[in-house]
Amino acid sequence: MTVNPDETFYASCALKLTRWYEQNRRDLPWRRTRDPYAILVSELMLQQTQVERVKSYFVRWMERFPTFASLAAASEEEIISLWQGLGYYSRARSLHKSAQMLVSDGQETLPADPKYLARLPGLGPYTVGAVCSIAFDLPVPAVDGNVRRVFSRLLDLDADPVKKAGAAVIAQTAESILKHGTPHILTQAFMELGATVCLPNTEPHCDQCPVADFCASFAHGTQMQRPAAALRTKINRRLGAALLIGSSSGGWLIRRRPKGGLWEDFYEIPWLYGSENEDFAGCLERLREQLSSPCPCRDSGIEETLKFTRWQVRVRLYYAPIPAQIPAGIELADTEKMLAQPMPAGIKRLVERALEKVNENQLDLFAPRL
Ligand code: SF4
């Protein structure tokens, strides 16, 4: 049962959240600045990536590219190499393109203009809201998954918060609270509450919540039913096979990912993922066919899971010797060159673990076996 908030609700939430945030905020590197560029970098890094992982990347990035001008002047290879390990590389490319657009527009940094920001590559309504509110103190809401959950519970929202009607209620409520306080504090308070107290997939810590007195879900005992079920994402799980093709004395087959797709211009060892219900053996068979190679293989026993927003692929690695004829689109690289290439993080982990086993020299992994 959705409740309709009033002015007293907005003002009380703003006051309680401000006090709570000032006493409980985590000390994170991007919270020591209000520089719009730094805020944008942190927000893009934090999308799909955990806070602990982002910390060191953020510090390194800001040391190497302290301004939009320094970022605009860098090569894409350098940018991708610094981003490597964070995944979702389109975020790094968008940041680079935004820096180049700002420089060509004669802007030294981001202007406090939501319409201008919305035209920059890769900046959706959430990121625009985060930069406007945190850097410029404008009452523009930034609604991500955490904030959706907090407001779905606070209002006991029975609509899907991703669909138009539910999203509008949340945006309007968040904006009204921002207008009753200091936007740069309140936006971060919403995020912090969702990350540390009003947690997903478990009982929220309502006993520690500054707005429990006004929370409709808490009053109705419906916390675990909010957000409405339609929001929960179904994860597609598949299996996959990868081949480390080479020799114990060095020399490996790698390929460059095609233009225009996921991980554009990255390198990888040959791999693929299966259709629904396809097992590792089926995936391996198709991979061998794809490479037009007899590729006698050995099972390494090594697996890694590649995680995407709606997909998880568990990939098993196999060893194979280099065939007499190297398949089209594949290059030969020594170990140093292979490891220096930007690779999707999960594939890189597979390669590193496989090389460890090769170095241990437990068995002749590349001896032909039919
Ligand atoms: S009272 Fe509980 S459910 Fe409501 S906002 Fe706080 S933590 Fe979330």
pTM: 0.71
Q: What is the pLDDT of residue 275?
A: 87
Task: Report how far ligand 1's centroid is from the alpha carbon of 214 (Å).
Answer: 9
Q: What is the pLDDT of residues 311-356, one digit of tens each?
A: 899 999 999 988 888 888 899 999 989 998 888 888 999 999 988 8
What is the domain partition of the chain in residue ranges? 7-231, 236-360
Nearest CA to ligand 1 atom 2: 206
Question: Which ligand 1 atom lies nearest to the CA of residue 205?
Answer: 7
Amino acid 348 reads: K
7-231: CATH architecture: Orthogonal Bundle (1.10)
**pLDDT reading at 92 higher than 90:** yes
**pLDDT reading at 370 higher than 50:** no
Nearest CA to ligand 1 atom 1: 212
**pLDDT reading at 3 higher than 60:** yes
Map residue 113 onto helix, strand or coil.
coil
pLDDT class of 196 with cuts at 50, 70, 90: very high
Percent of the chain with pLDDT over 90: 68
Q: Which of 127-131, 245-249, 251-255, 364-368 has the lowest mean pLDDT?
A: 364-368
Q: Mark whether 289 is an active-site residue.
A: no
Question: Which ligand 1 atom lies nearest to the CA of residue 216?
Answer: 4
Q: What is the pLDDT of residue 53?
A: 92
Higher per-residue pLDDT: 18 or 77: 18
Question: Which ligand 1 atom lies nearest to the CA of residue 149?
Answer: 8
Cα separation, 196 vs 299, whole angstroms:
42
- Which value, in Å, is the radius of gyration of the alpha carbons in the chain? 24
Q: What is the pLDDT of residues 38-67, one digit of tens each?
A: 999 999 999 878 899 999 999 999 999 999
Question: Given this structure, which CATH class describes domain 236-360?
Answer: alpha beta
Q: What is the pLDDT of residue 188?
A: 98
Please tell me which residue in 7, 43, 108, 175 is annotated as part of the active site.
43
Task: Report how far ligand 1's centroid is from the alpha carbon of 196 (Å).
Answer: 11
Average pLDDT, the chain: 90
